[in-house]
């Protein structure tokens, strides 16, 4: 009777589904910013559905591929992931990854038929898939491959914007800032298994969203910025500041949970207060979800 729930949680853990809402808020922010900056109508309901499906499927495929390619390393270092724990086989994960990629391809092809300039969308999705594979193949060999992980989120932003038209200039800046933030967080994650903080540079990279303040012209931006800074600052003091009580993994979870606040800042800049509020609400829900499904 308990086998099905166990299997469901195993697959949800493999897919890091506690982080999946951050993909949705990234998509929402990028598409609405593109709509605002380009004076374009927001995506239609069908475009929203296919866009969210495409990016969600690619995210899940990337997470499964990560566990699959890291299985030998996890086993050698006693990293308790589902494959090394024997909860799921490598063949099952391999088949699930292929299925997710096929579904994503079908979804993006359907989406390309609904928009006016599909070449931008197809190009950005191709780049996103390349970054996903590149990171998963290289990240255990090269420390600076973390920038490929940052590029995954950057190209996600560009893909969401490309569902409307050519990504406008503000999207490129937001995509770069998001990529730098994720790269800093991923530098920290390289040493989460041994709970070490070797440098403060990744923390400096994670301050990249402060650059959005240059473009702010409304009051809503500032309380969201203070919430973001307060959240990261409190978790730094609690989990990283004291070497004797260091919890790198907990800080990484907090950094991932803060992603919707980045999107809330982006939508505040785009003068989309309702969308910004939705992202703030997602932020408050994510830590509860992370207690059930590990974010890393």
At 55-84, the pLDDT tens digits run 999 999 999 999 999 998 888 878 888 999
Band (124; pLDDT cuts 50, 70, 90): very high
Mean pLDDT of the chain: 91
Q: Using the predicted structure, report yes or no on whether residue 12 has a pLDDT greater than 90.
A: yes
Token code pair at residue 132: 């996903």
At 242-256, the pLDDT tens digits run 888 889 899 999 999
Q: Using the predicted structure, report yes or no on whether residue 167 has a pLDDT greater than 80.
A: no
**How high is the pLDDT of residue 209?**
95
Mean pLDDT of 182-197: 87
d(CA 35, CA 181): 24
Token code pair at residue 211: 């650059």
- Per cent of the chain over pLDDT 70 is 97
d(CA 127, CA 121): 10
Token code pair at residue 187: 């530098």
At 205-230, the pLDDT tens digits run 999 999 999 888 888 999 999 999 99
**How high is the pLDDT of residue 39?**
61
| CA distances for 126 relative to 2, 153, 155, 159, angstroms | 40, 13, 9, 10
Band (2; pLDDT cuts 50, 70, 90): very low
DSSP calls for 200-250: SHHHHHTTGGGGGGGG--STTHHHHHHHHHHHHHHHHHHHTSSGGG--HHH
d(CA 212, CA 9): 37
**How high is the pLDDT of residue 6?**
54
d(CA 198, CA 200): 7
Mean pLDDT of 6-35: 92
| CA distances for 286 relative to 178, 225, 279, 282, 295, angstroms | 18, 18, 11, 6, 10
Band (151; pLDDT cuts 50, 70, 90): very high
Q: Specify whether the CB–CB gap between 261 and 278 falls below 8 A.
A: no
**How high is the pLDDT of residue 239?**
93
Q: Using the predicted structure, report yes or no on whether residue 116 has a pLDDT greater than 50.
A: yes
**How high is the pLDDT of residue 233?**
96
- Where do we find the tokens 């997710």? 100
DSSP calls for 30-76: HHHHHHHHTT-PPPPHHHHHHHHHHHHHHHHHHHHHHHHHTHHHHHH
Max alpha carbon distance in the chain (Å)? 56
Q: Any idea where the domains of the chain sit in the sequence?
A: 3-292
How long, in residues, is the chain?
296
Closest to 20 (Cα-Cα) out of 271, 252, 257? 257
Which helix (H) or strand (E) segment holds residue 81: the answer is none
């Amino acid at each position: 009777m308990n086998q099905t729930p166990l299997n469901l949680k195993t697959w949800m853990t493999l897919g890091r589904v506690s982080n999946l809402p951050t993909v949705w808020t990234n998509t929402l922010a990028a598409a609405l910013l593109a709509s605002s900056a380009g004076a374009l109508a927001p995506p239609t309901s069908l475009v929203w559905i296919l866009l969210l499906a495409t990016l969600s499927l690619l995210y899940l495929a990337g997470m499964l591929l990560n566990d699959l390619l890291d299985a030998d390393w996890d086993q050698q270092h006693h990293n308790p992931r589902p494959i090394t724990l024997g909860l799921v086989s490598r063949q099952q994960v391999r088949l699930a990854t292929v299925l997710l990629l096929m579904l994503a391809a079908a979804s993006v092809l359907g989406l390309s038929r609904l928009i006016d300039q599909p070449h931008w969308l197809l190009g950005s999705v191709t780049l996103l898939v390349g970054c996903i594979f590149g990171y998963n193949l290289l990240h255990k060999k090269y420390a600076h491959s973390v920038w490929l992980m940052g590029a995954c989120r950057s190209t996600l932003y560009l893909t969401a914007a490309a569902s409307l038209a050519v990504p406008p200039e503000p999207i490129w800046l937001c995509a770069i800032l998001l990529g730098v933030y994720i790269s800093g967080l991923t530098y920290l994650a390289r040493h989460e298994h041994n709970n070490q903080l070797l440098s403060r540079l990744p923390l400096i990279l994670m301050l990249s969203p402060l650059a959005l303040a240059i473009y702010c012209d409304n009051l809503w931006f500032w309380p969201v910025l203070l919430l973001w800074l307060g959240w990261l600052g409190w978790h730094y003091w609690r989990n990283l500041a004291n070497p004797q009580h260091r919890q790198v993994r907990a800080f990484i979870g907090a950094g991932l949970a803060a992603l919707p606040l980045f999107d809330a800042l982006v939508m505040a800049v785009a003068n989309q207060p309702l969308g910004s509020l939705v992202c703030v609400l997602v932020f408050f829900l994510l830590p509860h979800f992370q207690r059930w499904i590990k974010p890393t």
